[in-house]
Amino acid sequence: MNRARLYNDFIDAVKGQLPEIKHVDLWNRNIEFIEQEDWFMPAVFLEFGEIFWSASKVDKDTIDYKGKGTLTIHIVTPWDGSASADSPARNLLLRYFDLSARIQKIMELMEGEDYGGIWLNSTKTNHDHADIVENIDIYVVTFHRRVSRIQTSSEDES
């Protein structure tokens, strides 16, 4: 449940703190199919990467797992023209960098029952699209899970 919990916690935080975000979803190469998609910008997509787990035995019936994984956040915003020094649209376009910084603050303060330790690892901006800009922030996330012989199967899902 840790990825689902992190995703739902992120949605709650964004809805509460960033009302200008029009759409939040899981990443599925969404900008490649933007003509076929039905969402508004600014949009934020979460992409869970591979999680590497290590296990330690607590007792004969319980194993603790600690995982390190990546979470890539794609912030998709409109490209409304030039951001040159003389452009009247410059401040409008540059405010989307601020949106990335505000999401970074949300991410770095998030902590849940089975995840935490979220650190910004890298940031890049993708300008290879005609009408949009994609700011990409990649985080390292620590996940936790405990498996016990006496727990129910729904508690054991990740």
pTM of the model: 0.84
pLDDT in tens, 15-45: 999 999 999 999 998 777 777 778 899 999 9
DSSP-derived secondary structure letter, 154: G
Q: What is the pLDDT of residue 151?
A: 57
- DSSP annotation string for 74-110: EEEEE--S--STT-TTHHHHHHHHHHHHHHHHHHHH-
In this predicted structure, the answer to whether residue 13 has a pLDDT above a threshold of 70 is yes
Looking at residue 10, its amino acid is F
State the residue for tokens 């995703």. Answer: 7
Cβ neighbours for 45, distance < 8 A, ≥ 6 positions apart: 24, 25, 26, 27, 28, 30, 73, 74, 76
In this predicted structure, the answer to whether residue 154 has a pLDDT above a threshold of 60 is no
DSSP-derived secondary structure letter, 30: G
pLDDT in tens, 46-102: 999 999 999 898 888 899 999 999 999 999 998 877 677 777 667 766 778 889 999
Helix or strand run (H / E) with residue 2:
helix 2-17
Task: With CA atoms as reference, report the closest residue to 97 among 135, 56, 68.
Answer: 135
Distance, CA of 137 to CA of 124 (rounded, Å): 7
Count the Cβ atoms, other than its own, within 10 Å of residue 73: 23
Percent of the chain with pLDDT over 90: 56
Strand ranges, E, within 2-42: 23-26
Length of the chain: 158
